[in-house]
Structure 1
């Protein structure tokens, strides 16, 4: 296995020589997991604040959906590409520390916004900061764990998305309930703020402490590049593009499959608290509690359970992981139809858990397959390409697709259930087909 720029390593080492001790490895995952939780709290908290934002700023569902998706995704996706190249050439932990600090400050800035355009710009800033985390995390974890344990490690890291999204709703519900009981919140140097503004400020600022933790961790050695400084082992972009061409069916198929899963997920999750309020008559606090619990339970099943299974299904190969994602997609498609249409809210929540668990499987499994399929010094770049496609399509368009379908075809309060039923199952079914196609290509030799 050569360490020269012209012949980068094609996969992780097959034995455990050179990997950090289990204690160091899992400490690294724990801090990344904590950062990922915070990133999803800051990203998803707005989903619980739809009704207060609409009331205070006089917004439509479509305008709110742009704050949920497009405003965040535009720089999150675009900045991910140059940041991925930087991460492949540089020490990764200081970059993550800077990103965590930036998105935390910008989340707090959302709480200072008094107009729609100010909130839109602040959400763009959150996206810039969060663009650093996952490309670096995927690269770090693949250099920290041997292949046979990679799926579980990626699944634990990915669990931060579900826990963070769930805590966003739970913490948001607690803060709003607290503000409602006290009447108002007065903060030093800020003055009196609304409940939704206080929520952004309270969830944003703790991330500054987590940013500091990354400066205390040891930078892991890049597997296959031992003894070579990071700035001396660089893969030209032409090599990246050539590899993408030769592995297009597997790698790019994987990217678009996960994009469609994300489309289905954000089309539903971004509106799940609103769905509970408008369709089942929940209060905002009740909706936050139930939605948050459902996300955490579904995430635990799909990410930890799915990560454990995909380390064993098909021998833990990329093709095996992708095929399992396809089968999970078939299950998710069915429950994407069931949960919005059933009449009982608890049955709807249980069906949502299955839907979200199915959608959570690829977060760890597909990310693991991507690391296995790509050379070491291209991993952060391909992770950035992966995140660009996944989030531009899924996060950027998913919430707005539901809002547009609802505003156009079902312009009444309970119409949100039918909008979700139209958007989520179709995109999930497309994802399942793309996963199975990608698995078939992953079994083939790489094209010349």
Structure 2
């Protein structure tokens, strides 16, 4: 599309204040980062919790994965509907209160059941955040500025993941020097119990900051849309493009969760690294290449959209996914750890592109009244497909196809390459109907 397209000519929304809009973006980023720290801190406390609560590996895995993920994804669909009808700022505030309270409650658990319930409410609280946040950002920014803002917010995935290990490790190290930690007014705790309280405390700052955020006016709603019922008929009418985009995001997430689950094991088993070596190395890669890929993709998408290429975000996501095929194969057949780290760095950079742009791609074709629900469906499939299949398929490849746990790197790289191929096919399938739907959206709003 040429420079006279609606995307190029779209005016900033009435009352658009860039400085304040980016302030809101960073407040939401802060909350998103904390949510990842709170949800992942449990992974650093495996041994002391198992010892003190008498849990088996399988019982702990249920608490760590199932208790959080199932309620996070399915409650998220309901809360996405709430985000489309009610005050989104207040919904996020309520969610933060619930999840930091549930995180702190981890300090008081005494059994499998109480820990399970605490993790359920962490998932319920965090499920309120992203559907409302993406919907708010879509109203705070004009279309040609959204990709950048949403990529900043989405970078909380990488920042939170890295900080969970860095900050969580520091907290545990600081509290593990004694057998008991005494906190004024709260009581005495074992070190792992105190860790839950310490990581929950920054949530109070997130609550205070969210009170400075105003609920934005819902924009880009035509007269016909205002009169239409707020159901999912729009998705059914455009099933091909939405199904392709949802599936693309789900299989791409298999790469994210597969790497997270099995990258340390690859370096430990194949090249004799210690957790203390691969942990910081991967953390640095996440904070540099991962966030870099997200921010670069958001900047490029906004730049091209402002020049009239309204489907630029999808094309950039497609390019990143195609490159992932090559970087994944490079990792699969890496002859040594240095080559493998280069492959991981490149994969992390280009993986950041489809991950960062997915929300803005979906928001661009979704009516305002459905954005929260579409985001929640997107998160549901990302977690069910990505988290459910990614790590599992790598394990199947190692145990039953290759029959050698030392070849986990080959299995991981192969699963990532196959996932990238499927993701690229899905994005290609969505490309033409996506562009057509975008054009109709712009014409309806003109």
TM-score (norm. length: structure 1)? 0.84
1:395–1:242: structure 2 CA closer, same or farther, 3 Å change rule?
same
d(CA) in 2 for partners of 1:385, 1:11: 26
**SS of equivalent to 2:311:** helix
For the Cα contact (< 8 Å) 2:175–2:181, is it kept in 1?
A: no
Residue 381 (structure 1) aligned to one of 345, 370, 373: 373
- Aligned position for 1:443: 435
> 1:184 touches 1:194 (CA, 8 Å); kept in 2?
yes
Q: 2:296 pairs with 297, 305, 321, which one?
A: 305
- What is the Cα deviation at residue 31 of structure 1? 0.2
Equivalent of 1:219 in 215, 218, 224 = 215
Q: Structure 1 residues 299 and 11, CA, compared in 2 at 3 Å: closer, same or farther? A: same
Q: Deviations over 1:423-444 (max 9, x none)?
A: 3322222112111211122123
Counterpart secondary structure, 1:312: helix
**What SS does the corresponding residue of 1:89 show, helix, strand or coil?**
coil
- Tell me the residue number matched to 1:193: 190
Q: 1:413 to 1:406 in 2, by over 3 A?
A: closer
Partner of 2:315: 323
Once the two structures are TM-superposed, the CA of residue 396 in structure 1 deviates from its matched residue by 4.1
- Structure 1 residue matching 2:83: 3-state secondary structure: helix
2:121 to 121, 125, 133: 125
Distance 1:401 1:27 in 2: 41
- The residue aligned with 1:6 is none
TM-score between the two structures when normalised by the length of structure 2: 0.84
1:84 alignment counterpart? 80
Check the 8 A contact 1:37/1:163 in 2, yes or no.
yes
Name structure 1 gaps, 5 residues minimum: 1-9
Q: Does residue 342 in structure 1 map to residue 334 in structure 2? A: yes
1:197-244 CA deviation, whole Å, 9 max, x = no partner?
A: 4443322232132123212211111114599xxxx968535xx33211
Contact 1:11-1:373 at 8 Å conserved across structures: no
Residue 269 (1) aligns with residue 265 (2): no
Aligned residue for 2:235, secondary structure, equals helix
Residues 428 and 46 (structure 1), Cα distance of their counterparts in 2 relative to 1, 3 Å cut? farther
Gaps of 5+ in 2: 1-5, 442-446
Q: How does 1:3-402 map to 2 (within 5 A)?
A: 14-49=10-45, 59-60=56-57, 66-113=62-109, 115-179=111-175, 182-188=177-183, 189=186, 191-195=188-192, 197-224=193-220, 236-237=229-230, 240-313=231-304, 315=307, 317=309, 319-339=311-331, 342=334, 344-402=336-394
CA distance in 1, matches of 2:115, 2:195: 13
- 1:119-155 alpha-carbon deviations (Å, 9 max, x no partner): 4433322211111111111111111111111111111
- Following superposition, the deviation at residue 67 of structure 1 comes to 4.6
Q: Distance in 2 between matches of 1:285 and 1:199?
A: 20
Q: Which moved more, 1:267-276 or 1:403-412?
A: 403-412
- Structure 1 residue 299 displacement after superposition: 2.1
Does structure 1 conserve the Cα–Cα contact (< 8 Å) formed by 2:13 and 2:141? no
In 2, distance between residues paired with 1:12 and 1:391?
35
How far apart are the structure 2 equivalents of 1:307 and 1:343?
34
Corresponding residue for residue 3 of structure 1: none
Please say if residues 135 and 383 of structure 1, whose CA atoms lie closer than 8 Å, have aligned partners that are also in contact: yes
Identify if the C-alpha distance between structure 1 residues 29 and 205 changes in structure 2 by more than 3 Å, giving closer, same or farther. Answer: same
- Count, aligned residues: 429
Give deviations 1:376-434, integer Å, cap 9, x for gaps. 11211211222222222223443444455556667876454344234332222211211
